[in-house]
Amino acid sequence: MKLVLKIFEGYGVETNLGDPLVFRVSLMNPEGFEDYQRNRTINEEIKELDTRLESEEITQEEYEQMKASLEEKKTPQDYMVVGSEKQPWSHQIEFTPEWLKPKLLSYEPLENSITLSPSLVAYALFGLTPEETRVLPTGGHKVKATLGELESNEVAAIITGEEKMPSMDEYADKARYLLMVGATAASAQLINGLLAGQPMNIEGLILKGDYHAALEQRDEAIAAYQLAIDAYNATGPREDDPPRVIIHKLNRLLVSRIDEDTA
C-alpha cells in the first residue's frame, strides 16, 4: 500500500499568511498490479467463452473444460480493507509537524471502508482556511501524512510572514476546484475572501452563483449570476452581450424555476 501527499496538485508550495492551504492525500495499492491485469485479461476471455456458448459455437462440455483451464491460470488476490464505519479511512490520516491540523474537506470514494484493489486510487482533500494560516509558524516545513504504520512522501511547505491578498486567479482556481469536489464550505470561505475586497468581481460572483447552485439555493444563485451580468455591463460592453457562461448558468436556473411554477 502506498500513501502519496501533495499540496493541492503540486509537491511543494510557498504560501503567505492569510492564504488557504489545501492538501491532497492519495492512497493506492500497486502491489500485485501485474497479477490483477492478468486476472482481468482472463476474465475477459471467459466472457468470450460465454458468448460462444450462447451462440452454440462450443458445447457445454467444451465450455466447462476451457473455463476451468483459464481459472487455473488466475493468481489468487486478497485485497486489504482500509477503514470502518466507526473509523473511516480518511479520518485515520494524521499529519506532521504537530501544529498542522487541516480539516477534512472531501474524499473519494465516499465509503467509510474501502477494499483497496490495485485498480483503485482513493484520495482525500484536507485544508486550512485563510484564518487558520494566519497563526501558522513561519518558515520552511517538511510535511508528511501517516495512516497507521504507513508514511507518505515528504513535501515542502514554506510559510512566509508576509500577509497579502491572494490574486483573483489564485482564489478563483482553488474555489472552483473545491466546488468541483464537493467541498462547498471551504469554497465559500475562498469566494467570500475574493469578494471582500472586490464586491463586484465578475469571477467571484459567478463562483458565488455556482456555490448556491451546488446547494440547490436557486434564488440566491440567480441573484449572484445577475449581479455578475451587472458587473460585466458596468465595464462598458453592450448590455445584450455578457459572457455566454453567465447567460447559460442563469437561463438554466430560470427555466427550472418556470417549470416548477407551472407544474
The residue with greater pLDDT, 186 or 46, is 46
Q: Output the pTM of the full model.
A: 0.63
Q: What is the mean pLDDT of residues 20-26?
A: 87
Q: What is the mean pLDDT of residues 158-168?
A: 76
Cell numbers that stand for 42 in this block: 482472463
pLDDT computed for residue 73 by the predictor: 93
User: Which tens digits make up the pLDDT trace of 54-103?
Assistant: 999 999 999 999 999 999 999 988 888 999 989 999 999 999 998 888 98
| Residue 122 and residue 202 in one domain | no
| Residue 172 and residue 145 in one domain | no
- C-alpha to C-alpha distance for 193 and 170, rounded to whole angstroms: 11
| Residue 155 and residue 209 in one domain | no
| Residue 1 and residue 103 in one domain | yes
pLDDT computed for residue 109 by the predictor: 77
Short-list 129, 135, 104, 246, CA closest to 190: 129
**Residue 53 pLDDT greater than 70, yes or no:** yes
The residue with greater pLDDT, 5 or 99, is 5
CATH number of the domain where residue 151 is located: 2.60.40.10
Q: What are the backbone dihedrals phi and psi of residue 134, each rounded to the nearest 5 degrees, phi first?
A: -65, -20
What Å distances lie between residue 51 and 38, 42, 59, 67, 83, CA to CA?
Answer: 20, 14, 12, 12, 39
Q: Which of 143, 164, 185 is the last residue of a domain?
A: 164
| Residue 149 and residue 27 in one domain | yes
Q: Which of 147, 164, 181 is the last residue of a domain?
A: 164
User: Which tens digits make up the pLDDT trace of 223-248?
Assistant: 999 998 888 888 876 655 667 778 88
| Residue 181 and residue 57 in one domain | no
- What is the full DSSP assignment across 197-255? H-TT-HHHHHHHHHHHHHTT-HHHHHHHHHHHHHHHHTTSS-TT---HHHHHHHHHHHH
| Residue 54 and residue 175 in one domain | no
Give the domain extent around 227: 166-263
Q: Residue 108 — very low, low, confident or very high, per pLDDT cuts 50/70/90?
A: confident
| Residue 45 and residue 107 in one domain | no
Short-list 37, 28, 133, CA closest to 77: 37
What Å distances lie between residue 1 and 37, 56, 119, CA to CA?
Answer: 17, 44, 12
| Residue 122 and residue 7 in one domain | yes
| Residue 28 and residue 138 in one domain | yes
pLDDT computed for residue 42 by the predictor: 95
- C-alpha to C-alpha distance for 18 and 12, rounded to whole angstroms: 17
**Residue 110 pLDDT greater than 80, yes or no:** no
Q: Which of 30-39, 130-139, 201-210 shows the lowest mean pLDDT across its residues?
A: 130-139
CATH number of the domain where residue 217 is located: 1.25.40.10
Q: Residue 154 — very low, low, confident or very high, per pLDDT cuts 50/70/90?
A: very high
3-state DSSP: the chain helix, strand, coil percent, rounded to 5? 45, 25, 30
| Residue 67 and residue 194 in one domain | no
pLDDT computed for residue 21 by the predictor: 83
pLDDT computed for residue 94 by the predictor: 95
The residue with greater pLDDT, 132 or 51, is 51
pLDDT computed for residue 62 by the predictor: 94
Specify burial of residue 149 (Cβ count, 10 A radius: 0-12, 13-18, 19+).
exposed
- C-alpha to C-alpha distance for 25 and 48, rounded to whole angstroms: 39
Q: What is the mean pLDDT of residues 144-150?
A: 93
Cell numbers that stand for 29 in this block: 495499492
| Residue 24 and residue 7 in one domain | yes
Cβ-based neighbour number of residue 49 at 10 Å: 17
- C-alpha to C-alpha distance for 57 and 48, rounded to whole angstroms: 11
Q: Number of folded domains in the chain?
A: 3
Q: Which of 108, 133, 164 is the last residue of a domain?
A: 164
